[in-house]
Chains A and B, each alone.
Chain A
Amino acid sequence: MISVPCPWCDERNSAEFRPAGESKKRPDVATTTPEEWRTYLYTKSNLADWVTETWYHRAGCRRYFAIERHTVTNDIRTSRLPAAQIRLKESRG
């Protein structure tokens, strides 16, 4: 059982979380093409390396957050708020 650092709750057993996969940016619906949209839906980098993922603290604070996890060792090196929340914070100073 790996231990996942939640930005709100600190280290918790991974069973408390739902991993939501590689973090991706949603294309602009107004201009998207089938190819771009389905790449967003289906195609994965699937790296054997550090990846940025979204996790959801299902049995805890119910917050989504982003971590950097190494997919070979399962080590986790950073944990932060979702990108949209960081952008919002910055825009609000």
Chain B
Amino acid sequence: MAVNGSNAGTAGTTRPGKPTAKYRAKYSAFSLIKHGLTKGDWPRAWRQHELRKHYDVVIIGAGIHGLATAYYLATNHGITNVAIVDKSYVGSGGSGRNTSIVRSNYLTPEGVRFYDRSVKLYEDLSADLNFNIMFGQMGHLTLAHNDSSLRTMRWRAEVNKLEGIDSEVIGPDDIKQIVPYMDTSDQTRYPILGALFHPPGGTVRHDAVNWGYARGADLRGAEIHQQTEVLGITTDRGAVTGVDTSKGHIATGTVVNCTAGWASLINAMVGLKMPLVTHPLQAAVTEPVKKFLNAVVVSGSLHVYVSQTDRGELVFGASTDPYASYSMRGSLEFTEELAGHVLELMPSIAKMRVLRQWAGLCDMTPDFSPIMGFTPVKGYLVDVGWGTYGFKAGPVSGEQMAACIAMQRVPELISSFDLARFAEGRLVGEKGAAAVGH
């Protein structure tokens, strides 16, 4: 490949895992008290830099995938001459717009293994990053309102169990125990027949993950360049030679597309077309009320998922908008449908108010699985097509993409997510039970 096979790990290399920055502020209860007493300033969580003329690796997109890739390139492989460029600020895209649900109860063994690795990384991430990402493993319920979705839940549970994942189908009475507000009677239009219960699932503070990875990558030498838009990618004889940005040209042999929403536009810069369609995914949040919901609740049939934050707000999401669009303006029909469905599940919260809605962009693939790894353009790697599940895969994607770049081969864990699978007719089995699956 273009650069990394030979000279990755030369410039800016240190022993893996060791922060290189001269300044360092370890976060702890003790340091909080000390700062409180001295009223001193905290150092920057990540620094600002002048854009240099060359980096070993340029990562496009300062969201969780891009930042995690940079972090693991440094910690696991000692590759630190890395620039992460973003046209906006850290975590401004999908990484800061998702509903922050984490789970691993997927349908296929390869999906389960991949997302389970992510859950494991999330469990240790606060300590690893020295940044509290507030992972609350309150449990995750996927409701079934008809025989066929109950069968799909069972299918997932059985595959999960074989993979060692805590996942079980439970009945309406158990659901009522976990979520007392739920209408589990058979008097509703779509009675709840059961649910897939996944105790390790939960939510994370999404911004904290972005900032924690940004700080961790920065401490180890990677450079974060916000407000630096990629305008083009230069190639020579089918291999990447550099990136044109709004702040100037960067020479590099390795470019990683870690964008969501704009992945097709970046791909077009090297002349590639992929099976991606960009759809807005909307979310909404209510005013806070005292905590009453102690699980993430998902209903595929009713196209809704909901959880309550530590602040007391309910956070809602639904399925993606029906037509392709790069608009993040949000729509009324989304909140109407969402509210109607939430109230079918929990009718007593009708007087809670929706405070804010927003949208993020999702690059949907035909088989509800990402596209990761090498492409026909030498030195151009992708970590795209994350649909509506990019956040939960952030850590493992960063880890695996870093390994892919450093080792110059595709790690086993992501081998089924290759681009060639579409042309070769090897779609990933998550399509087998496609539904809203947060």
Contact = CB atoms under 8 A, between A and B. Distances in A.
Chains A and B come from one and the same complex: yes
Interface of A: 1, 14-15, 18-19, 21-22, 34-35, 38-39, 41-48, 51, 53, 69, 71-74
Interface in B168-186: none
A15 B278 contact: no
B275 A21 contact: no
28 contacts: A1-B333, A14-B322, A19-B322, A19-B323, A19-B324, A21-B324, A34-B423, A35-B423, A38-B425, A42-B275, A42-B422, A43-B273, A44-B324, A45-B273, A46-B278, A46-B324, A46-B363, A47-B264, A48-B265, A53-B323, A69-B323, A71-B278, A71-B325, A71-B326, A72-B325, A72-B326, A73-B327, A74-B325
B264 A1 contact: no
A69 B321 CA distance: 15
A65 to B, nearest CB: 14
Contact of B424 (A21, A34, A43): A34
A-side interface mostly:
mixed
Contacts of B8: none
Given A35-B423, A53-B323, A72-B325, 6 more contacts: A1-B332, A18-B322, A39-B423, A45-B273, A71-B325, A71-B327
Contacts of A35: 423
Contact of A42 (B278, B327, B366): B366
Interface in B291-331: 322-327, 331
Contacts of A34: 423-425
Contacts of B422: 38, 42-43
Contacts, number: 65
Nearest to A72: B326
Contacts of B326: 48, 71-72
A44 B277 contact: yes
Contacts of A43: 273-275, 422
A13 B274 CA distance: 31
B243 to A, nearest CB: 19
B192 interface: no
A13 to B, nearest CB: 9
For the complex of A and B, list the 7 residue pairs with the smallest distance between their C-beta atoms, beginning with the closest. Answer: A42-B275, A19-B323, A46-B264, A72-B326, A42-B422, A48-B326, A42-B366
B79 interface: no
B331 A21 contact: no
Contacts of B265: 48
B276 A46 contact: yes
B431 to A, nearest CB: 11
A67 to B, nearest CB: 10
Nearest to B274: A43
A3 B336 CA distance: 17
Interface in B77-96: none
Contacts of A44: 264, 273, 275-277, 324
Interface centre among A22, A46, A48, A69 (most CB of B within 10 A): A46
B231 to A, nearest CB: 14
A53 to B, nearest CB: 7
A41 B365 CA distance: 11
A71 B277 CA distance: 11
Contacts of A18: 322
B377 to A, nearest CB: 16
Contacts of B276: 44, 46
A48 B278 CA distance: 9
Contacts of A72: 325-327
Nearest to B329: A74
A10 to B, nearest CB: 19
A18 to B, nearest CB: 7
Interface in B249-276: 262, 264-265, 273-276
B329 to A, nearest CB: 8
A38 B323 CA distance: 21
A14 to B, nearest CB: 8
Nearest to A44: B277
Contacts of A1: 331-333
B153 to A, nearest CB: 28
Nearest to B366: A42
A89 B44 CA distance: 67
Contacts of B325: 71-72, 74
Contacts of B275: 42-44
A39 B322 CA distance: 22
Nearest to B275: A42
Contacts of A15: 333
A18 B322 CA distance: 8
Contacts of A53: 323-324
Contacts of B331: 1
A74 B274 contact: no
